Amino acid sequence: MLTYIKARALFLCRLYKEGIAWKIVSGFWGILSLVIFFRDDIALPADDQAFKVVTILHSISFQNWFAITLILFLIWFFESSFQLYKRLSLTINELGKIDKDDLCHLLNGYFFGNRFAYRAELVKCEIFTGKFNVQRLVDGFVEIGALAPKFAIANIKIRLHNGRSDGEEYKFYLLDTRNKEIPVNDRYDPMGHDVYLDENSKFSIKLKHNELFEIDDSASVWVTLNSWTK
């Protein structure tokens, strides 16, 4: 129920943002309505012109005020809805210039349902080469961009190339736009791991390990993109 009310309240807010003329008209009518509401407290002035204005305010009944308010509301609602519809139609037409077939051709991939997968074996997000660059992942989350739309769900694969030693333990973590840390439990899972991208099509990655883990000078971490869902 709360989501239902919130969605419609946001829609009304978007309508109110359409056009400055109706904001001026509604503001003027709001001020005039306050004057009408408190008209009984306004003393009749001696000046003839001012007297006529106050007399008009006293002559406006509640039914007339309500009818004018309703008419202004309906005009505003229709005009704002039309302006919003026109703007959204232009956006849809712009987006329609590139369809799914165009995306498949440009990105060398294919759709199955809402998910887009690349035909290439590796679509690089980032490659960390050398001890210094890999150590950056240990120090904290590092932001990475993905070749996917903003706010999409990207399927990420991580590969660590490093010499092994007995007793070492390590694990990668992904941080998405929900500020949620996602542990990569199986580093060799060919299916990858889903992560929510932010408004810049980015996510973050971090490496944790125990005291027996050592980073070689020739170590590297490959972060690649399998597919994305919008």
| 167-204 per-position pLDDT tens digit | 678 889 998 888 888 888 666 666 788 899 999 999 99
Q: How far apart are CA 42 and CA 147, in angstroms?
A: 67
Say which residues have a Cβ less than 8 Å from residue 199's Cβ, sequence separation at least 6.
150, 151, 177
Range of the domain at 184: 119-229
77 and 40 fall within a common domain: yes
- If you search the block for the tokens 């070749």, which residue do you land on? 147
Neighbours of 46 (CB within 10 A): 7
| 105-130 per-position pLDDT tens digit | 666 777 777 778 777 767 888 999 99
Whether 132 is in a domain gets the answer yes
Q: How far apart are CA 6 and CA 14, in angstroms?
A: 12
Q: Strand 170-175 relative to strand 115-118: parallel, antiparallel, unpaired?
A: unpaired
Task: Count how many domains the chain has.
Answer: 2
Q: Is 117 exposed, middle or buried (0-12, 13-18, 19+ CB in 10 A)?
A: middle
79 and 168 fall within a common domain: no
Q: Looking at 79-83, 129-133, 146-150, 215-219, which range is the least confident one?
A: 79-83
219 and 142 fall within a common domain: yes
Helices (H) and strands (E) counted in the chain, each on its own, are: 6, 10
141 and 83 fall within a common domain: no
Identify the domain boundary among 95, 111, 138.
95
Where residue 85 falls among pLDDT bands split at 50, 70, 90?
A: confident
The answer to whether residue 156 scores a pLDDT higher than 80 is: yes
- Determine what percent of the chain is predicted with pLDDT higher than 90: 12
Say which residues have a Cβ less than 8 Å from residue 81's Cβ, sequence separation at least 6.
15
CATH number of domain containing 178: 2.60.120
Stronger pLDDT, 80 or 22, i.e. the higher one: 80
Whether 216 is in a domain gets the answer yes
Per-residue pLDDT, 187:
61
